[in-house]
Amino acid sequence: MSENMTSLPSSLSFALSVVQGCSKNVFQIASSTGASSVASDGVIRFNLPSNSIMDWKQSKLCFSVVTKAGTGSRLPQYADTLFSGVRIMVAGQTVVQNNNLHGIVKAVDYVTKQDVCDEVTGHPHVCEGQAVDGSILTTALVSESYGAGIGLVSTLFSVDMGQIARISPRLISMDLLGAVTVEFIVAPASVLIAAKTTNQRGVTVAAGNNFTVATGAATSFTIERPVFNAVCYSLLSSSYQMAIKERIASIGYVSFVYPQTTGFVMGAWAGSNRFSLSANSLRKLTSVWRNREHAVITGARPLAGRCAGTVVAAMGCDGRDGGGILATAGERHYQGSVQQFRYPNLLPLTDTATVPALGLIAPVPYADFSTTTSPLDFQFQVNSSQYPQYNMGVADCLQMTLDANNIDELHDTPSMQEYLNNKFIVAVGFNLPHKEGDIPCLSGLNTTGMNAYFGLSSQGTGNDSLHYENIILAETDTIMRVGAMRQIEIIN
User: Which residue would you say has higher pLDDT here, 371 or 232?
Assistant: 232
Within-domain flag for 253: yes
Q: On the CB side of 11, how many CA atoms lie within 13 Å of its CA?
A: 1
Is residue 183 over pLDDT 90? yes
Q: What's the confidence (pLDDT) of residue 217? A: 86
Give dist(CA 108, CA 119) in Å, integer: 17
pLDDT in tens, 65-117: 999 999 999 999 999 999 999 999 998 899 999 989 999 999 999 999 999 99
Q: Band of the pLDDT at 7, cuts 50, 70, 90?
A: low
Residue % of the chain over a pLDDT of 90: 68
In a domain, 4, yes or no: no
Which of 329-333, 348-352, 449-453: highest mean pLDDT?
449-453
- List pLDDT tens digits, range 249-290: 999 999 999 999 999 999 999 999 999 999 999 999 999 999
* Nearest-angstrom CA–CA distance, 179 and 46: 11
454, pLDDT greater than 60:
yes
Would residue 406 be called left, alpha or beta, if left means φ above 0 and alpha means ψ between -120 and 50 degrees?
A: left
The number of beta carbons lying within 10 Å of the beta carbon of residue 243 is 11
**Cβ count within 10 A of residue 383:** 12
Question: 218 in the Ramachandran plot: left (φ > 0), alpha (ψ -120 to 50) or beta?
Answer: beta
Q: What confidence tier does 299 reach under pLDDT thresholds 50, 70, 90?
A: confident
Give dist(CA 368, CA 380) in Å, integer: 27
pLDDT value at 311 more than 70: no
Nearest Cα neighbor of 76 from 154, 245, 186, 192 is 192
Assign 4 a pLDDT band (cuts: 50, 70, 90). Answer: low
Whether residue 3 lies inside any domain: the answer is no
Q: CA-CA distances (angstroms) from residue 187 to 73, 107, 165, 371, 397?
A: 15, 14, 20, 36, 30
305 pLDDT exceeds 90? Answer: no
Residue of higher predicted confidence among 468 and 240: 468
The number of domains in the chain is 1
Q: Are 118 and 158 in contact (CB under 8 A)?
A: yes
Would residue 169 count as lying in a domain? yes
Q: What beta strand segments (E) does 157-201 contain?
A: 157-159, 171-173, 180-186, 193-194
Work out the mean pLDDT of the chain and round it to a whole number. Answer: 88
Assign 8 a pLDDT band (cuts: 50, 70, 90): confident
- Asked if residue 262 belongs to a domain, the reply is yes
Spatial neighbors of 99 by CB under 8 A, at least 6 apart, are 85, 105, 261, 262, 263
CA-CA distances (angstroms) from residue 148 to 8, 125, 378, 461? 58, 21, 49, 53
pLDDT on residue 14: 81
Closest listed residue to residue 192, CA positions, set 75, 355, 22: 75
CA–CA distance, 243 with 169 (Å, rounded to integer): 15
Output the pLDDT for position 238: 82
pLDDT band at 324 (very low <50, low <70, confident <90, very high): very low
Rounded CA-CA distance 4/8 in Å is 12
Contacts 24+ apart (CB under 8 A), 244-251: 244/173, 244/176, 248/482, 248/483, 248/484, 249/484
* b/e sequence 124-141, b meaning 16+ C-beta within 10 Å: bbbbbbebbbebebeeeb
Query: Which residue type does 413 have?
Result: T
Residue type present at position 158: S
pLDDT at 330: 45
| Rounded-to-integer distance, Cα 332 and Cα 302, Å | 7
Q: Give residue-wise pLDDT tens across range 419-441.
A: 999 999 999 999 999 887 788 89
The pLDDT of residue 202: 57
Residue 473 maps to a domain: yes
| Domain-embedded: residue 11 | no
203 pLDDT tier (thresholds 50, 70, 90): low
**Residue 307, pLDDT above cutoff 80:** no
Longest Cα–Cα distance of the chain, Å, equals: 75
Residue 345 makes CB contacts below 8 A (sequence gap 6+) with 369, 372, 374, 376, 462, 463, 464
Predicted confidence (pLDDT) at residue 403 exceeds the cutoff of 50: yes
Please give the pLDDT value at position 383: 93
| Predicted pLDDT of residue 358 | 52
- pLDDT tens digits, 114-164: 999 999 999 999 998 899 999 999 888 899 999 999 999 999 999 999 999
pTM of the model as a whole = 0.92
What's the pLDDT score for residue 314?
A: 39
Residue-level pLDDT at 5: 53
User: Can you give the pLDDT at residue 452?
Assistant: 92
Residue 166's pLDDT is 95
Q: How would residue 323 be classed by pLDDT, with cut points 50, 70 and 90?
A: very low
Residue 299 domain boundaries: 22-434+442-491
Model confidence at 34, in pLDDT bands (50, 70, 90)?
Answer: confident
Q: Specify whether the backbone of 130 is left (phi greater than 0), alpha (psi in -120 to 50) or beta.
A: beta
Q: What's the average model confidence in pLDDT over 296-311?
A: 72
**Inside any domain, residue 9:** no
Burial class (CB in 10 A: 0-12, 13-18, 19+), 259: buried
Asked if residue 156 lies in contact with residue 121, where contact means CB atoms within 8 angstroms, the answer is yes
E strand map for 170-281: 171-173, 180-186, 193-194, 221-235, 254-266, 272-276
Which pLDDT does position 321 carry in this prediction? 42
Q: What is the pLDDT of residue 237?
A: 80
Q: Give the pLDDT confidence of 17-32 residue by residue, as tens digits.
A: 888 889 999 999 999 9
Mean of the pLDDT values across residues 188-206?
79
Residue 370's nearest CA partner among 335, 394, 352, 401 is 394
63 with 82: CB under 8 angstroms? no
